[in-house]
C-alpha cells in the first residue's frame, strides 16, 4: 500500500504523506516514495509548483524508530541530500501545507520547503535529544532559517512549541486557523504561478548560493545571471506583455 499520494491539477502537483498508521514517519518505504514523487515533479513539464502536505493529525513524526532501532548502526535508505536537499536544488517552488503536528525529521521537511504554512494548533519540536540522538541531518536546512539563540534553546531543550513560535523562529512562514489553511496555500501558489518558470528557478539559485559566496564573487555571478535572464525568451515575452498591458504567456487562465 502506498504511503505517498500524488495529484496534478492546474500546474500544481500535490504530494501527500499518507501513512497515518505510522504518523507519516520517515521510514524506508515513505522516503523512497517521497523522493520518487520529487523526481516526478521535477521532470513533469506540466508541473509549475509543488505542495507537500499530509493526511491525519500528524504532518511527520520524524524517523521511523521501529526501523531505526532494529540495527545498531542503521543505514539511511535515502541519502539526506536526495530528500531534504532535493527541495533546495529543485528549479520548482515547494510549498509546505503543514496540516498537523511536526517534530524531529518532519521539521526538516517543513524547513526545506521554500514556503511553509501550518495550522495554528500544530505542535513542533526538535525532540531528538530526549531519544538519545541529535537533530543532525535536518540542522542543514533548519539552522539557516533560525536565530542562533532560538536554535540553541530548541535543539538542547527538546521541548515542543506552537506553530506560532515556529513561524517566529523562521522555520515556517505562517500559522493560520485550520479553516484558513487552503486559502493561504492557494494564495501562495497563485503568486508562484504568476512568475515565469525560469525566473523562479533563478530566484531559488540566488537564495541557495549567494549567502555562501564572497561579496565580489557574488556580484560577478549575479551580474552574469542577470544578463542571461534579461536575454532569455521568457524575459523578452514577459517585458513585452507588461509594456503592452497584457497577461504574460506563462500566467494561468483567469489570473
Residue 254 lies in a domain: no
| Structural domains of the chain, count | 2
pLDDT of residue 76: 56
Residues 64 and 111 in one domain: yes
Residue 120 lies in a domain: yes
pLDDT grade for 66, boundaries at 50, 70 and 90: confident
Residues 94 and 216 in one domain: no
Residue 62 lies in a domain: yes
Residue 248 lies in a domain: no
Q: Could you report the per-residue pLDDT of 25-62, keeping only the tens digit for each?
A: 999 999 999 999 999 999 999 999 999 999 999 999 99
Residues 130 and 35 in one domain: yes
Residue with more model confidence, 134 or 70: 134
Query: Per-residue pLDDT averaged across 124-137, rounded?
Result: 96
Residues 82 and 147 in one domain: yes
Residue with more model confidence, 107 or 72: 107
Instruction: Give the residue numbers spanning the domain of 60.
Output: 4-192
Q: What is the 3-state secondary structure (H, E, C) of the chain?
A: CCCEEEEEECCEEEEEECCHHHCCCECHHHHHHHHHHHHHHHHCCCCCEEEEEECCCEEECCECHHHHCCCCCCCCCCCHHHHHHHHHHCCCCEEEEECCEEECHHHHHHHHCCEEEEECCCEEECCHHHHCCCCCCCHHHHHHHCCHHHHHHHHHHCCEEEHHHHHHHCCCCEEECHHHHHHHHHHHHHHHHHCCHHHHHHHHHHHHHHHHCCHHHHHHHHHHHHHHHHCCHHHHHHHHHHHCCCCCCCCCCCC
Residues 210 and 139 in one domain: no
Residue 171 lies in a domain: yes
Residue 119 lies in a domain: yes
Output the pTM of the full model.
Answer: 0.94
Residue 37 lies in a domain: yes
pLDDT grade for 255, boundaries at 50, 70 and 90: low
Amino acid at each position: 500500500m502506498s504511503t505517498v499520494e500524488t495529484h496534478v491539477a492546474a500546474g500544481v502537483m500535490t504530494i501527500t504523506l499518507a501513512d497515518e498508521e505510522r504518523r507519516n514517519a520517515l521510514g524506508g518505504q515513505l522516503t523512497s516514495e517521497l523522493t520518487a514523487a520529487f523526481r516526478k515533479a521535477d521532470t513533469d513539464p506540466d508541473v509549475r509548483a509543488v505542495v507537500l502536505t499530509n493526511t491525519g493529525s500528524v504532518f511527520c513524526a520524524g524517523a521511523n524508530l521501529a526501523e531505526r532501532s532494529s540495527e545498531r548502526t542503521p543505514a539511511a535508505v535515502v541519502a539526506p541530500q536526495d530528500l531534504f536537499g532535493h527541495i533546495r536544488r529543485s528549479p520548482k517552488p515547494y510549498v509546505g501545507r503543514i496540516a498537523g503536528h511536526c517534530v524531529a525529521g518532519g521539521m526538516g521537511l517543513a524547513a526545506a520547503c521554500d514556503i511553509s504554512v501550518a495550522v495554528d494548533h500544530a505542535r513542533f519540536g526538535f525532540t531528538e535529544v530526549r531519544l538519545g540522538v541529535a537533530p543532525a541531518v535536518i540542522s542543514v536546512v533548519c539552522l539557516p532559517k533560525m536565530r542562533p539563540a532560538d536554535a540553541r534553546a530548541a535543539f538542547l531543550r527538546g521541548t515542543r512549541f506552537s506553530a506560532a513560535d515556529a513561524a517566529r523562529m523562521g522555520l515556517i512562514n505562517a500559522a493560520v486557523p485550520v479553516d484558513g489553511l487552503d486559502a493561504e496555500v492557494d494564495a501562495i501558489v497563485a503568486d508562484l504561478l504568476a512568475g515565469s518558470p525560469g525566473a523562479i528557478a533563478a530566484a531559488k539559485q540566488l537564495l541557495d548560493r549567494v549567502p555562501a559566496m564572497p561579496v565580489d564573487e557574488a556580484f560577478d555571478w549575479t551580474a552574469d545571471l542577470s544578463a542571461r535572464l534579461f536575454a532569455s525568451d521568457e524575459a523578452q515575452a514577459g517585458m513585452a506583455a507588461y509594456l503592452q498591458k497584457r497577461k504574460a504567456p506563462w500566467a494561468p487562465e483567469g489570473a
